[in-house]
Amino acid sequence: MTQAGVWAGFAWGLRRDLRLSARSSAEVLVVLGFFLIVVTLFPLSVGPDPRVLHRIGAGIIWVCATLACLLSLHRMFALDFADGSLEQMLFGAMPFPSIVAGKIGAHWLTTGCPLLLCTPLVGVQFGLSGGEIGVLLLSLAIGTPVLSLIGGIMAALTLGLRGGGALLALLLLPLYIPLLVFGVGAVDSYAAGMGIEGHFSVLGAELLLALVGAPFATAAAVRTAID
């Protein structure tokens, strides 16, 4: 497995899934619409008290971003698995883990990035300050790739299973709890005037571990599903 082959596989998988997402942009808009609608429902349900909204804002945004990411994970491998494309990728010339990494990267670009772009708008809705929105954006920028990387493993493990979507949610939500805790904790610590370095250290460590291990674990799970 040469370095050139690895990057070629990554670039091919990334470009392919981005083109497919562009052709079915409605699915991307559904995820973004889900995020915006659910985030907007919370202020309507808890009332207009600015103190309450400010206190719960970061947690609500993180939870809604997590659910929006979870909503779109099924399309990462399911269509390719159904039409046999995934099997051709597995036995093709390019390294399969690098193709998987490209597919995961495309999922983040079409799911995590739009959520990041909408975060300042919804942060203002909850009365978050500019500094708090900046910390929230940074935590989501580190955490949402982890959502896609870990989600890719579980999406591969549930390929071809009846009721795989519900099983995917049950498997993933407990694994996402540390991201939620430290992502929201960074914003709360900043608002309280405390240090945020520890929270970002944990988020960064999770991202590094996921970047190194997730493509190989996902590729192994796909092989198991196909076999």
User: Could you tell me the two tokens for 179?
Assistant: 């991201």
Q: Check pLDDT > 80 for residue 5.
A: no
Q: Check pLDDT > 60 for residue 1.
A: no
Range list of H helices, 73-95: 78-83, 85-90
Q: Are 28 and 111 in contact (CB under 8 A)?
A: yes
pTM score of the predicted model: 0.92
- Beta-carbon count within 10 A of 117 CB: 11
Q: Report residue 123's pLDDT band, with 50, 70 and 90 as the boundaries.
A: very high
Give the count of domains, the chain. 1
Q: Find the domain containing 213 and state its range.
A: 3-226
Q: How many CA atoms lie within 13 A of 198 on its CB side?
A: 7
The percentage of residues in the chain with a pLDDT greater than 90, rounded to a whole number, is 63
pLDDT tens across 169-222, in order? 888 999 999 999 999 999 999 999 999 999 999 999 999 999 999 999 999 999
pLDDT tens across 75-105, in order? 888 888 888 888 889 888 889 999 999 999 9
Average pLDDT over residues 102-128: 93
d(CA 152, CA 218): 6
Query: Which of 208, 209, 202 has its CA nearest to residue 184?
Result: 202
User: Could you tell me the two tokens for 50?
Assistant: 């600015």
Q: Are 207 and 142 in contact (CB under 8 A)?
A: yes
Q: Are 103 and 21 in contact (CB under 8 A)?
A: no
CA angle (181 as vertex; 175, 184 as ends), nearest 5? 130
